[in-house]
Amino acid sequence: MRAKVAEHATLFYQDGVVVWDDYLHHRQFAISETAELLCRKFAEFTDVDELLAPLADADRAALRALVDELVEKGVLVVEGSPRHREEARLLAGWGEWGLAARHFHFASRTLGDAPYQDADEHDAALDAKLAVRPPPSPFRSLGGTAVLLPPPADEPSWGARGLRDVLLARRTTREFGPGPLSLTRVADLLAVLGAPSPARSRIGRSGTVFKTSPSGGGRHPVELYAHVRDVEVLAPGWYHYDGLAHALEPLGVAWDQDEMARAAGDQDWVGRAPLVIAYTGVLERTSWRYDTARAYRVVQMDVGHLSQTAYLVATAMGFGIGFTAALRDELLEEALRCDAYHEAVLGMSAVGPLPE
């Protein structure tokens, strides 16, 4: 029998114990130090009898029993077995993206027996949580000097274009015409993306809020930051958008075109944009309500919803816009003062006039 360590799992230490995490089948259990050391001998397919042959009878019998137990538990995969074939299919489908991507996907994938609460159970759980732990605010303010933006018009001229026309006109733009951008239009764009919906502006008791884009559980974890290069009235630099106050809070950092391009994975077109909107995810807003790993997928979906809204509004305004997730997260975290453990960089939209 030839066996190797399964590649659909990882090892980690927790409370001094080595834990085997089989993310494909959602199984976790502790393994002994002997088992962990033995696994190192099976980094690739290895003949069990040949490996154990040099040992004394008692040691060989004890380790053979341990090998058989590891095979039975799925820690070791026998060559040619159904488990081997299943793993080969997994690696073929996810090999190019590597361990991190497949671990994230399958660890947050629900199985057929996954428990779900009904609406009454979920409401009761929220009531119990509210009694001991208040929800995080759905809006953030840095508390310093802010630039109040022009209030959105009830019926802005850019809203007159029909939805079908806007959808068909939507394109990713990587070339921009000369600025500056209108402050009123930029204020409208930010309000549509990040302010409470004027139709339902009340913040719920559990921190839910309605905006123009959908969000899992109404949590709206996505926070907005704007880098201004050429917008009327505004000084160049990074700002945080306070959606509740409809104001821009300067962060005291201004990037030149090269710095912006570097943060955007060396994409020069992002550096040339007069306005760049960065999206981050405040994880606590979603994790407060949903304590399963799958909720991280929802945060990723939220920025997709929001960036599409940005595309449509910018198109209706006659702007060009392009979204990118090819970023150097660390550079943005430093500029935006993000704690990467609590606020994740998600993407950026570059906005500017259409080229002439």
Q: What is the pLDDT of residues 159-198, one digit of tens each?
A: 999 999 999 999 999 999 998 999 999 999 999 999 999 9
pTM of the model: 0.92
Q: Could you tell me the strand order of the sheet in which 27-31 lies? A: 10-14, 17-22, 27-31
Residue ranges of the chain whose pLDDT lies below 70: none
- Domain 137-353 belongs to what architecture? 3-Layer(aba) Sandwich (3.40)
Q: What's the angle, vertex CA 248, arms to CA 242 and CA 250, rounded to 5?
A: 115
Q: What's the angle, vertex CA 261, arms to CA 260 and CA 264, rounded to 5?
A: 90
Domain 2-107 is found in CATH 3.30.1950: no
Q: What is the pLDDT of residues 262-280, one digit of tens each?
A: 999 999 999 999 999 999 9
Residue type, 342: H
Q: Return the domain boundaries, the chain.
A: 2-107, 137-353
Helix segments in the chain, DSSP class H:
33-39, 48-52, 57-73, 82-94, 98-107, 119-132, 163-169, 183-194, 257-263, 268-272, 283-287, 295-316, 329-336
On the question of a cis peptide bond just before residue 221, with omega within 30 degrees of 0, the verdict is: no
**Tokens in use for 56?**
């004394």
